[in-house]
């Protein structure tokens, strides 16, 4: 049988990512590649108790079909947290619960993108977002960033260079893959430029709660007076990814369309799970949990930086992140990290080659290291191995 697959499924395919995913389950290989939080930090006992409470105490309506927007008490809880942290004034009508931030990206794409539309994004950026956007047959303009965020003059030139710019996609806090954070001035300038050009900004912010510094910059929604910012959030990094729980916050008109997209995609996110997480958030000390996991990740991050200084070539450059799960290494320009990957796997260590995060795959000499998912002894072993690979 010769199958006539849709073009979009081929846009989603990356043989390199499949190879990395295939290697992840090999217990002999130390993986510094995945974007996973640490399994030993998941509040499993508490979540089990919350699941029991859900099945014993909750109203039977949560076992029924319900509205696409999501479980009202959870929506209120998330919106209140967002408003408190960012001085915004959203309400329960401004939010849709999604199956993780990943589904948020997909629903926004479904709502806004026509074939041939142009997405402006950081370069490098979250590679699965690129694949999602590609599946809607859009094109990209990758915009260079410096240590303060996207370079706004370049963004403006790029917008003006095409007739069909549609969305600006950014990860403003502890970015995947670079670990970098936008400062407040760039956030304000971004909104100003997007508003002037009638573009929607998609702020993808799943790392916000994993901060190593006391104050995290406000969400871009704080600076938005015209309703053109969509904010995506997630419990994947702060609680655990297996829950598949995230959210989309936006103005009424946008959120109405996104709720429609959600309904035709999967009707609703499980209300049973939403009740379970709501129980956790209201009966346990979530802030304490966040403080605890952020301290562990900060410690692992510092150790990784020290090990990189000690074991990798002197030419390696990086900026220590203020939060999140990743460090981005720039090696000397003659190194091709994708070509080096089989050698690293042979040595028993896995990293994520930087090229896969670029819209045009033009930069070959970078790689992303994840420090959250392995314990300290394995971090040491992994980076010593990495040193052996790149010092040859």
Instruction: Write out the residues near ligand PLP by the rule CB under 6 A.
Output: 35, 100-102, 126, 171, 176, 204, 206, 234, 236, 241, 246
How many C-beta neighbours within 10 Å does residue 141 have? Answer: 20
Give the side-chain half-sphere CA count within 13 A for 58: 22
Dihedral of CA 85/129/75/95: which sign?
positive
The rounded distance, in Å, linking the Cα atoms of 389 and 392 is 6
Residue number, 247 or 318, with CB nearest to ligand PLP: 247
E strands of 337-377, at which residues?
Answer: 349-350, 352-353, 366-370
Residue number, 44 or 162, with CB nearest to ligand PLP: 44
For residues 113 and 90, the answer to whether their CB atoms sit within 8 Å is: no
CB of 130 to ligand PLP, least distance (A): 11
The rounded distance, in Å, linking the Cα atoms of 220 and 168 is 12
| Overall size of the chain counted in residues | 392
CB of 36 to ligand PLP, least distance (A): 8
Instruction: Compute CA distances 129 → 37, 38, 76, 295, whole Å.
Output: 19, 22, 27, 28
Residue number, 241 or 382, with CB nearest to ligand PLP: 241
63 DSSP 8-state letter: G
Closest C-alpha among 109, 189, 206 to residue 145 = 189
CB of 392 to ligand PLP, least distance (A): 31
Residue number, 235 or 271, with CB nearest to ligand PLP: 235
Residue number, 70 or 241, with CB nearest to ligand PLP: 241
CB of 310 to ligand PLP, least distance (A): 28
CB-based burial of residue 77 (10 Å sphere; 0-12 exposed, 13-18 middle, 19+ buried)?
middle
Residue number, 354 or 387, with CB nearest to ligand PLP: 354
Closest C-alpha among 176, 114, 185, 115 to residue 148 = 185
Residue number, 207 or 318, with CB nearest to ligand PLP: 207
In this structure, are strands 229-234 and 246-249 parallel, antiparallel, or unpaired? antiparallel
- Whole-angstrom distance between the N-terminal and C-terminal Cα of the chain? 48
CB of 388 to ligand PLP, least distance (A): 28
CB of 236 to ligand PLP, least distance (A): 3
Question: In this chain, which residue has its C-beta nearest to ligand PLP?
Answer: 100
Q: In sequence order, what are the beta bridge partners of 349?
A: 30
CB of 266 to ligand PLP, least distance (A): 14
The rounded distance, in Å, linking the Cα atoms of 337 and 344 is 10
CB of 304 to ligand PLP, least distance (A): 18
Residue number, 173 or 304, with CB nearest to ligand PLP: 173
CB of 104 to ligand PLP, least distance (A): 7
Residue number, 167 or 335, with CB nearest to ligand PLP: 167
Long-range contact set of residues 280-283: C-beta below 8 Å, sequence gap at least 24: 280/43, 280/46, 280/47, 280/50, 280/239, 281/74, 281/77, 282/77, 283/50, 283/53
CB of 61 to ligand PLP, least distance (A): 26
Residue number, 246 or 353, with CB nearest to ligand PLP: 246
């Amino acid at each position: 049988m010769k199958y006539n697959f849709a073009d979009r499924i081929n846009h989603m395919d990356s043989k390199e990512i499949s190879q990395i995913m295939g290697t992840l389950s090999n217990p002999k290989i130390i993986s510094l590649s995945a974007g996973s939080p640490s399994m030993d930090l998941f509040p499993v006992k508490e979540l089990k108790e919350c699941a029991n409470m859900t099945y014993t105490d909750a109203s039977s309506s949560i076992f029924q079909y319900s509205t696409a927007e999501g479980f009202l008490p959870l929506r209120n809880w998330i919106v209140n947290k967002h408003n408190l942290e960012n001085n915004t004034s959203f309400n329960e009508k401004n939010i849709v619960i999604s199956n993780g931030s990943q589904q948020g990206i997909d629903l926004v794409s479904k709502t806004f993108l026509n074939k041939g539309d142009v997405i402006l994004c950081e370069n490098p950026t979250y590679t699965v977002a690129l694949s999602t956007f590609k599946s809607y047959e859009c094109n990209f303009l990758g915009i260079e960033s410096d240590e303060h965020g996207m370079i706004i003059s370049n963004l403006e030139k790029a917008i003006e260079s095409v007739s069909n710019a549609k969305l600006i996609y950014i990860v403003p806090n502890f970015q995947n893959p670079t670990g970098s954070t936008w400062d407040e001035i760039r956030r304000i300038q971004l909104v100003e430029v997007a508003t002037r050009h009638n573009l929607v900004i998609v702020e993808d912010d799943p790392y916000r709660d994993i901060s190593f510094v006391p104050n995290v910059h406000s969400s871009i929604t704080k600076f938005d007076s015209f309703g053109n910012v969509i904010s995506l959030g997630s419990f994947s990094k702060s609680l655990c990814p297996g829950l598949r729980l995230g959210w989309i916050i936006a103005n009424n008109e946008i959120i109405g369309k996104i709720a429609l997209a959600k309904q035709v995609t999967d009707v609703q996110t499980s209300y049973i799970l939403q009740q379970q997480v709501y129980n956790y958030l209201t009966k346990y000390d979530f802030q304490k949990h966040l403080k605890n996991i952020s301290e562990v990740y900060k410690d692992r991050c510092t150790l990784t930086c020290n090990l990189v200084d000690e074991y990798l070539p002197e030419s390696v450059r990086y900026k220590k992140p203020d939060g999140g799960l990743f460090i981005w290494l720039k090696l000397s320009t003659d190194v091709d990290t994708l070509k080096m990957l089989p050698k690293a796997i042979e040595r028993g260590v896995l990293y994520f080659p930087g090229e896969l995060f670029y819209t045009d795959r033009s930069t070959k000499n970078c790689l992303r290291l994840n420090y959250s998912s392995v314990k300290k002894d394995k971090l040491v072993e992994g980076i010593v191995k990495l040193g052996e690979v790149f010092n040859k």
